[in-house]
Structure 1
Amino acid sequence: MTSESSPTARRRTASTRRRRVRAIGLGALGALIVVIFGFTLWANSPYRADRTATLEVFGNPAISVSTVDEGVLLEPVGDAAATGEQVGLVVVPGARVDAWAYLYQMSGIVEQSGVTVLITRPPLNLAFFDLRGLDELTTAAPGVERWFLAGHSLGGVRACLMAQDAEVEGVVLLGSYCANDLSDTGLAVLSVAAENDGLTELETISDTADLLPGDARFEVIEGANHAAFGDYGPQSGDGERTITSAQMREQLTALLAELVR
């Protein structure tokens, strides 16, 4: 028997292999930890809401703002409160965008039309990590009788998925599109695009239009960019914005009001 085939040699070879496998495993685990840590850090550093825009909503006597388990709730107060049948709108934020960043843009529909708005707060600031259905969100406002779903960017894709299995009257896409087929649902759909959107291009919205009902309404807000649907500053890769936040709010409020009526 040669030394290479002796029991001692075989044990040494097996031990060497185990050390190599252990080293490879530890290296892979270390790399995975680094990736997870990096992803978590990235996801938890969202685009923050503009303080001035947010404070303007908090100072509006016609709107009540509260933090609830389901998200951020905006309710009409006093003369702005809805009369008769109450309407609600659930808004799903775009990827890594602070929920509070949508407060000002969504406040117009609350003040002028008495609509209750719930802005969700997804885990890790990413809509696809929020697996709650519409019925788990509308508990924030049990008095609301009719619900619509809205979503910005990635949030719109998530809203479309939610709408497929929910009792909802319509869907609003804000610089977004559907990845699933809603063409036979009979839902009222409003797609609002931004002229200078550098992240969700008008061509993409056009290419996916066949996934929406035939009577879906398509609107483009001139001078707006992707980040104009919220108030959180410039976003990497986006186009130029040439309208003010107040002008954006005015146009968006008019479009939303017409849909919910």
Structure 2
Amino acid sequence: MKKWIKNFFLIASGGMILSFAGFYIWSQITYKPAEELFYTTNLLDQNDKNGYLLFQPENQKTNNGIILYPGAKVDPRAYAYLAEQLTQKGFTVLIPKMPFNLAIAGISKADKIINDRDEIENWYIGGHSLGGSAASIYAFEHQENIKGLFLLAAYPADSSDFSNTHFPILTIYAEHDGLTTLDEIKETKHLLSDNTFYYKINGGNHAQFGIYGEQKGDNKAQINVFVQQDQVIREINSWIERIE
């Protein structure tokens, strides 16, 4: 009997190790930044030695910071164009690298960023897809320190119910999104505050909230990726100007 139990635990342990190894390998197969990003941004100058990518305005001090949580299995560098264009609006933008490339596994990543950048007085947080849901959890738990939440093809986690608050939220969604559908956006409106702004990108899709090419399960966009990106940049900037 004892031998049977020992064999059982050996088999179970081996199964768990194999399962984790499979999950880890899966998590490392990411959506890489598209080639055009290396020609349109200073991406080659970026590194994540502090655990995040840092984009700052040139020759300009700013007290406004934006934290962007990447979508599931999306390389943080895929949001470089979005980040660099926002720095031209006067924001410092930081994009953390997530454990297993899943923002839901690194919800508290914003803590280190905020502690590192004590010159920033006003913090805004958001994310793309699953990154937006993770950012909503952080924002909900830190409403005293976060000025607003933006959701890109995303909606709040069930535990982040802002409906009884006046917390500033921006939700941007796309007409042809095959992964965060319009129905899902509508079904989760009850979790948003009465201070939520909505913006629909006509012709846009899910993957073009970053620049990393096509994504499995998504629909084909009817507009150029930079057209979609520029709309996102404009709306985030306008929204922050309204709520400041």
Fold conserved between structures, TM > 0.5: yes
1:232 equivalent among 212, 225, 230: 212
Q: Choose 116-125 or 26-35, whichever is displaced more.
A: 26-35
8 Å contact kept, 2:37–2:43: no
Once the two structures are superposed, the pairs formed by residues 39-54 of structure 1 within 5 Å of their partners are 39-54=23-38
* Correspondence 1:20 to 2:13: no
Q: TM-score, normalised by structure 1?
A: 0.85
* Correspondence 1:247 to 2:223: no
Return the letter of the residue paired with 2:176. N
Return the letter of the residue paired with 1:240. K
* 1:164 equivalent in structure 2: 140
8 Å contact kept, 2:167–2:195: no
1:175 equivalent among 153, 165, 168: 153
8 Å contact kept, 2:167–2:193: yes
Give deviations 1:120-177, integer Å, cap 9, x for gaps: 1111111122142634222343222111011111111111110122211110000000
Q: TM-score, normalised by structure 2?
A: 0.90
Q: Alpha-carbon deviation of 1:252? A: 0.9
Q: Alpha-carbon deviation of 1:118? A: 0.5
1:97 equivalent among 61, 68, 74: 74
2:21 equivalent among 37, 50, 60: 37
8 Å contact kept, 1:133–1:162: no
* 2:131 equivalent in structure 1: 155
> 1:68 and 1:170, CA in 2 relative to 1: closer, same or farther beyond 3 A?
farther
What fraction of aligned residue pairs are identical, expressed as a percent? 31
Q: Alpha-carbon deviation of 1:55? A: 3.9
Mind listing any 5+ residue stretches in structure 1 that lack a counterpart? 1-16
Aligned length in residues: 237
* Correspondence 1:207 to 2:183: no
* 2:93 equivalent in structure 1: 117
- Once residues 9 and 51 of structure 2 are traced to their aligned partners in structure 1, the CA distance between those partners, rounded to angstroms, is 40
Return the letter of the residue paired with 2:87. V
Return the letter of the residue paired with 1:41. I
> 1:133 and 1:71, CA in 2 relative to 1: closer, same or farther beyond 3 A?
closer
Q: Alpha-carbon deviation of 1:24? A: 2.2
* 1:13 equivalent in structure 2: none
- Once residues 12 and 174 of structure 2 are traced to their aligned partners in structure 1, the CA distance between those partners, rounded to angstroms, is 43
8 Å contact kept, 1:174–1:229: yes
Q: Alpha-carbon deviation of 1:52? A: 2.2
Q: Choose 138-147 or 225-234, whichever is displaced more.
A: 138-147
Q: Choose 133-142 or 215-224, whichever is displaced more.
A: 133-142
Q: Alpha-carbon deviation of 1:70? A: 4.2
* 1:71 equivalent in structure 2: 52
Counterpart of 1:27 in 2: which secondary structure?
A: helix
Mind listing any 5+ residue stretches in structure 2 that lack a counterpart? none
1:187 equivalent among 167, 170, 195: 167
- Once residues 55 and 118 of structure 1 are traced to their aligned partners in structure 2, the CA distance between those partners, rounded to angstroms, is 20
Q: Choose 94-103 or 21-30, whichever is displaced more.
A: 21-30
| Structure with max Cα Rg | 1
* 1:139 equivalent in structure 2: 115
* 1:218 equivalent in structure 2: 198
Return the letter of the residue paired with 1:173. L
- Once residues 240 and 105 of structure 1 are traced to their aligned partners in structure 2, the CA distance between those partners, rounded to angstroms, is 20
8 Å contact kept, 1:106–1:249: no
- Once residues 121 and 185 of structure 1 are traced to their aligned partners in structure 2, the CA distance between those partners, rounded to angstroms, is 30
- Once residues 109 and 212 of structure 2 are traced to their aligned partners in structure 1, the CA distance between those partners, rounded to angstroms, is 27
